Structure 1
C-alpha cells in the first residue's frame, strides 16, 4: 500500500481542528482518512485512540492505542500510558523514558509559562523552605545536584544560597533552556536512575522537584542519589499522595506513592527521614494537587551493617546448640 505522509498530516490537522470544535464524529472520519493515506504513521493511530476515549468508546480507543504501540515499540507517544489508564495493560514501574523525553522536548518552549502562570506551580519554593533550616549544617562549598532540572526552576530559587549547581534531565531541549540561565556549572542529558560519570560524588544536597512522580519504583533513583551524596548529605524532593500500595498511576499520567512504600524504600536505600510535610504543589484542572515535601539524610551504611550484625545469633549459643 502506498504511503503519503504529507497528505496524512494535512488530514490529521483537519481532524484536530474538528476536535477543537467538539465535532468528534467528523474528526474520527478524517483521522481514519489520514490513516488510509499512511497506515504506518503511529501519531494518527494515537489521535484516533484519543478521540475514541473522549467519546467513551473505550474498546475502540484501546485498539487504536495498541496499534500505535505496535508501530512504535519505544512509545514516544505514550500509548502504553494511555492503555494503562484504561486498564488494558499491566502497570509498569516507570513511564517509558522515550515518551518522557519526547514529551518534555515538545513542552520545553512553553514549560515555564504553563507551570507558573496556568498551574501555579510552587515546587522549588516549597523545597527551598523545607531545606532552609538545614542549610547552615551542610559542608561548604555546598554543591547541589538538581535531578530532573527541566528549564532551571530550582536554580532560579536556590542559586543565591548555594555554591555550585549541576543539573540532569532526560530532555535535551529542557537542558538548553536551563543552560541559557547561566546558573548551572554542568548540565547533562541523562536518566536520573543511571547518573553519568561526569557528575561529582560528593554533593551536599540533591534536589528532585516534581520528577520522582514519573517513576513508580523509587529505589533506582534513590540509590543513584545516595551514591552521589557525601555521608550526612541531604536530599529534598516532592511526591504526590497515593492510597494504593506501593504506587498507582494518576489521571495526570504521574505516579502517586503510598506513605509506607516511601518509608520502606528510604530505609532500604540508607536514608533517614529528617522532615516530612504536605503542601499544594500546583493546580490541575482547577483543583489543588497536594503532595509530600520530604527532607532525608544519607547514611554511610554503617548503621545498617550494625543492625544486621545485631540480628546474628550469639556464637556461644550457636556452639552450645551444636554440642548438645
Structure 2
C-alpha cells in the first residue's frame, strides 16, 4: 500500500482547523482523507478519534482509538485513557508512563505559563502552608525529595525554608527546565514508583505536588517514598478527591482518590496522618478543582498496629481544616 505522509499531514492540518471552527463533521471527513493518504500514521487515527469524541460519536471514536493503539501499542498519545473515559477499556492502576512522559515533554516549554497564568495553579504554596509549622520545628539540615518535580515550582516555594532539594520526574525536558533554575542538588529522570539509586535516603521531607493524580493505586509510590525517608520524616502531597472507591479517572484525565482508600494505603505503607485539608488546587475550564492537601509522618510500622493508633499524642491526630 502506498503512503503519502506529506499529503496526510496537510489534510490533518485542515481537519484541525475545522475542529477549531467547530465543524466536526467536515473535520472528520478530512481526517479520514488523511488516513486514506497514510493509513499507517497513528496520529491521524488518534486525531480522528478525538474529532468523533468531540462530536459525541462515541462508537466511531472508540474504533478510531483502537486502530491508533494497534499502530502505537506504547500509547504515547493516551488512546487507552480515552477508551477508559468512554467506558471501552478497563480501569488501569496508573496512566501509561510513556504517555505521561510524552505529554510533559511536549508541555515543558509552556508548562509554567499555562499553570500559573491560565489555570491559577497554587499547589506548591498550599503544600508549603500545610507543612510550614512542622518545618520550623525540624532539626536541620532539612533534605527534601520533590516527587514529580516538573520545572521546579516546588523548589521555588520551599527553597528558602530547607537546606537541600533533590527532584525526580518522568519527563527529561521538565528536568532540563528545573536544572536551569539551579535550585536542586540532584535531578533524576525516573519513575516515582521505582526510584533509582542515584537519589539519596534519609529525607526529612517528601513533597508531591499534583503528581499522585497520575497514579490510581498509590501504594507503590507511597512505599517508594517511605523507603527514602528517615523515621519520623514528613510527606506532604495534593490529591483530587473522588467518591468512587478506591479511585476513578476524571474527565481531566487525572485520577481521583477515595478517602477510605487513602487511609488504607497510608496505614499499609507506614504513614500516620497529621493533617488533611481541602482547598482549590487550580482552575479547569473556568471551574475550581477542589483537592486535598495531606501531611503524613513516616513510622517504622510498629506504631500502626491497631492498638497503637489510639495512643497517638494529640498533636499527631488528623486535623480537619479548609485552606483558601
TM-score tier (shorter): over 0.9
The answer to whether structure 1 residue 188 and structure 2 residue 188 are counterparts is yes
Give the deviation of 1:303 after TM superposition.
Answer: 2.6
Give the distance between the partners of 1:230 and 1:18, measured in 2 at CA.
55
Residues 139 and 204 in structure 1, CA contact (< 8 A), matched pair in contact too: no
Q: Which residue of 1 aligns with 2:125?
A: 125
Q: Which residue of 1 aligns with 2:97?
A: 97
Give the distance between the partners of 2:264 and 2:306, measured in 1 at CA.
18
Q: Which residue of 1 aligns with 2:267?
A: 267
**DSSP-derived class of the 1:180 partner:** helix
Give the distance between the partners of 2:244 and 2:42, measured in 1 at CA.
32
Give the distance between the partners of 2:297 and 2:200, measured in 1 at CA.
18
Q: Which residue of 2 aligns with 1:156?
A: 156
Give the distance between the partners of 1:265 and 1:81, measured in 2 at CA.
24
Give the deviation of 1:307 after TM superposition.
Answer: 6.4
Give the distance between the partners of 2:235 and 2:289, measured in 1 at CA.
22
The normalised TM-score by structure 2 is 0.93
Structure 1 unaligned blocks of 5 or more: 309-324
Residues 207 and 235 in structure 1, CA contact (< 8 A), matched pair in contact too: yes
Give the deviation of 1:177 after TM superposition.
Answer: 0.6
**DSSP-derived class of the 1:275 partner:** strand
Paired residue total? 308
Give the deviation of 1:14 after TM superposition.
Answer: 1.1
Deviation sequence 1:8-39 (CA, Å, 0-9, x none) = 11111111011111121221111111111111
The answer to whether structure 1 residue 280 and structure 2 residue 286 are counterparts is no
Give the distance between the partners of 1:215 and 1:161, measured in 2 at CA.
29
Give the distance between the partners of 2:238 and 2:17, measured in 1 at CA.
37
**DSSP-derived class of the 2:278 partner:** strand
Give the distance between the partners of 2:306 and 2:52, measured in 1 at CA.
57
- Pairing of 1:29-44 with structure 2 (within 5 A): 29-44=29-44
The answer to whether structure 1 residue 233 and structure 2 residue 236 are counterparts is no
The answer to whether structure 1 residue 48 and structure 2 residue 87 are counterparts is no
Q: Which entry has the higher C-alpha Rg, 1 or 2? A: 1
Give the deviation of 1:51 after TM superposition.
Answer: 0.5
Structure 2 unaligned blocks of 5 or more: 309-324
- Pairing of 1:206-217 with structure 2 (within 5 A): 206-217=206-217
Deviation sequence 1:220-251 (CA, Å, 0-9, x none) = 00000000000000000000010000000000
The normalised TM-score by structure 1 is 0.93
Give the deviation of 1:139 after TM superposition.
Answer: 3.2
Give the deviation of 1:301 after TM superposition.
Answer: 2.4
Quickly say closer, same or farther: Cα 1:278–1:305, change in 2 above 3 A: closer
Residues 240 and 256 in structure 1, CA contact (< 8 A), matched pair in contact too: yes
> Runs of at least 4 residues of structure 1 off by over 6 A?
305-308
**DSSP-derived class of the 2:181 partner:** coil
Q: Which residue of 2 aligns with 1:199?
A: 199
Give the deviation of 1:305 after TM superposition.
Answer: 6.9
The answer to whether structure 1 residue 22 and structure 2 residue 22 are counterparts is yes
Give the deviation of 1:304 after TM superposition.
Answer: 4.2
Deviation sequence 1:47-100 (CA, Å, 0-9, x none) = 000110111111000000010111111100100000000000111010000000
RMSD, aligned α-carbons? 1.2
Q: Which residue of 1 aligns with 2:134?
A: 134
